[in-house]
Structure 1
Amino acid sequence: MQIPITGFIYESDDKSLNGEHSHVLYVTSFDGRRVHIHGFSGFTSFDVDHRHDYLGRTEPAQSGVPHVHRYFTMTSFNHGHEHRIEGITGPAIEIPFGGHYHEFKGTTTINGSTPHKHKYSGQTGNEV
């Protein structure tokens, strides 16, 4: 089964990945439907005398149908370490006058000289 996908590829000059350039695929439609993403940001819980902030974008999802988004980001580097944040958002929550957002929550990976984790929760921004 073939599913039509449209988008574009961006070639990056960022040499941070083992000294080699990279390509990023931006999908703009999937099976004839427009796709969209959401930005998200926030702060983790305060544990072991510190907290972290985080910033990221969800993976694309089809517009106009019930959906959720996968997300992944790293926290800020505080107290000599960082944590991974990843999960799946809740379903779309409509915004009056157009658009929607998603709620998300979870627990970071364990890290630090005193091994620990943090909780996080929030809402994405409107669809982009």
Structure 2
Amino acid sequence: MNKSKKDILVVDDSESIRKFVRMILEKSNYNVFEACNGEEGIEVYERVGNIDLIITDIYMPKKTGLDLIIELNKRHKGIKIIVFSDGGKHNFSNELGECEGLGATCFIKKAFIKDELVNMVNNMFLE
């Protein structure tokens, strides 16, 4: 069965970021689910099932984005994942390497999210 709309799970502890990403993606004809941390992200992923893409922040309470990536990749191979972060005090090149090593497909800085997000999401489904 080929769904007409792809399902995307956005995981971020900032409600305003989640709502902003939802608005951008829904205007581009995607279904969007939200979670406020990695723990809730895993719960939503398992409850909804068949999610086509996860977009996650790295630094969140309870379970981080890295925890989310590790746990879901153990259970479900081949999940498409975009990691986004403002980075704070952290080094983006280290984050990118660690995320890719754990199975993330792409990495984007939140500062560029509006300009790059829809293009990145669309490209994920061209593969």
TM-score (norm. length: structure 1): 0.24
Q: Which has the larger radius of gyration?
A: 1
